[in-house]
Amino acid sequence: MSGCNMKLVSLFVGSLLMLSDPTAPKCITEDGLNKLIEEFQTRYLDKKVSVNVPDTRTCMQAAEEMQGAENNRSVSPWRYRLDEDVNRIPSKIAFAECICQGCIIDKRENMSYNSRSVDAWLRIYRKTGKCSENKYKVRKDFIKVPVGCTCVVPNYTK
């Protein structure tokens, strides 16, 4: 009898594990899909981040300005670029890009230091097709998103 219980327990745990597989595709209705899109878009595209006008500043220009938000005042300043993928939820994500190779020390670029992007793992969904006429297949995924830049000393080889 206890052996039978054990089997039940392991079956139960097994099905829990299957349910919690984060990358298993699931089928959702169009309503569900739209809700997901709405929820993710407002959560991840910061309205303060302006990506409509491409930021083409050079490091020298950034060094002269050094004002405004943190991305402009950082010694390793960065710009935002809109990354778009229609099969991803959210489809639009602002990716940070370092403006300088070096870092801005005393109002000029100093190549003794390096600007490096800092990444964060972001939970997204991928649209992978249809399950039926009016159901969509989505799969949870994680992607690395550059969210800013930091200043590091070069990794000199000894």
Can you give the binding site for ligand NAG, defined by CB under 6 A? 50, 57, 65, 68-69, 72, 105-106, 110, 112
In 3D space, the residue among 141, 108, 157 whose CA is nearest the CA of residue 40 turns out to be 141
CB of 124 to ligand NAG, least distance (A): 24
What is the C-alpha separation between 113 and 110, in angstroms, rounded? 6
Q: Which tokens go with 156?
A: 């000199």
**Residue 149 β-bridge partners:** 117
Looking at beta carbons only, is 41 or 110 nearer to ligand NAG? 110
Q: How far apart are CA 143 and CA 40, in angstroms?
A: 14
Q: List Cβ neighbours of 133 (8 Å cut-off, separation of 6 or more).
A: none
Nearest distance from C-beta of residue 72 to ligand NAG, angstroms: 4
Closer residue to ligand NAG in complex, CB, 74/138: 74
Smallest distance, ligand NAG to C-beta of residue 84, A: 21
Q: Which is nearer to ligand NAG, 64 or 84 (CB)?
A: 64
> What whole-number distance in Å separates Cα of residue 115 and Cα of residue 97?
10
> Among all residues, whose Cβ is closest to ligand NAG?
68
In the complex, least distance from residue 69 CB atom to ligand NAG, rounded to whole angstroms? 3
Q: Which CB atom, from 57 or from 139, has the smaller least distance to ligand NAG?
A: 57
